[in-house]
Amino acid sequence: MKTPRPVLLAALASLTIALAPAQPSPLASSTPPAATIIVSGELTREFQLAPASSAEGQLVLRNTSATPGRARIYQLDYSLDADAHIYTDPGQLPRSNAPWIELGERQPELAPGETRIVPFKVSVPSDPSRSGTYWSMIMVEGLAADPQPENANAVSVRSVIRYGIQIITHVGGSASARPAISHQRIAAANDRHSVCFDLANTGDRWLRPKMELRLFDGSGRSLGVFPAPTTRVYPGASAPQKFDLPALPAGDYLALIVLDTDDELYGAQYRFRLDD
Residues 191, 164 share a domain: no
Asked whether the predicted pLDDT for residue 194 surpasses 50, the reply is yes
Does some domain include residue 1?
Answer: no
- The residue ranking higher by pLDDT, 83 or 147, is 83
Say whether 100 sits in a helix, a strand or coil. helix
Sequence-separated (6 or more) residues with CB below 8 Å from residue 26: 20, 153, 154, 155
Residues 191, 165 share a domain: no
Residues 41, 140 share a domain: yes
Does some domain include residue 3?
Answer: no
Tell me the pLDDT band of 86, cut-offs 50, 70 and 90: confident
Residues 167, 48 share a domain: yes
Q: How far apart are CA 256 and CA 80, in angstroms?
A: 26
Residues 262, 223 share a domain: yes
Residues 191, 167 share a domain: no
Asked whether the predicted pLDDT for residue 29 surpasses 70, the reply is no
Sheet hosting strand 54-63, strand order edge to edge: 37-40, 54-63, 115-123, 101-103
Q: How far apart are CA 132 and CA 272, in angstroms?
A: 37
Cβ of 169: how many Cβ atoms within 10 Å?
A: 23
Does some domain include residue 253?
Answer: yes
Number of domains in the chain: 2
Does some domain include residue 29?
Answer: no
- The residue ranking higher by pLDDT, 41 or 80, is 41
Residues 41, 134 share a domain: yes
Residues 73, 54 share a domain: yes
Tell me the pLDDT band of 224, cut-offs 50, 70 and 90: very high
Q: How far apart are CA 276 and CA 274, in angstroms?
A: 7
Residues 192, 94 share a domain: no
Cα-based angle 117, 90, 203 (whole degrees, multiple of 5): 105
Does some domain include residue 231?
Answer: yes
Residues 221, 201 share a domain: yes
Could you read off the pLDDT of 168-187 as tens digits, one per residue?
A: 999 998 899 999 999 999 99
Residues 267, 249 share a domain: yes
The mean pLDDT of the chain is 86
Does some domain include residue 150?
Answer: no
Residue 150's beta-bridge partner residues?
Answer: none
Could you read off the pLDDT of 249-270 as tens digits, one per residue?
A: 999 999 999 999 888 999 999 9
Q: How far apart are CA 115 and CA 190, in angstroms?
A: 48
* CATH value at residue 92: 2.60.40.10
Domain with 83, as residue range(s), is 37-145+159-171
Query: How confident is the model at residue 144, as a pLDDT?
Result: 76
Residues 70, 166 share a domain: yes
Does some domain include residue 87?
Answer: yes
Query: How confident is the model at residue 146, as a pLDDT?
Result: 60
Q: How far apart are CA 233 and CA 105, in angstroms?
A: 31
Could you read off the pLDDT of 109-122 as tens digits, one per residue?
A: 999 999 999 999 99
Asked whether the predicted pLDDT for residue 12 surpasses 60, the reply is no
Does some domain include residue 207?
Answer: yes
Asked whether the predicted pLDDT for residue 66 surpasses 70, the reply is yes
Q: How far apart are CA 70 and CA 101, in angstroms?
A: 21
Q: Are 68 and 109 in contact (CB under 8 A)?
A: yes
When pLDDT is averaged across residues 105-134 and rounded to a whole number, the result is 96
Query: How confident is the model at residue 28, as a pLDDT?
Result: 46
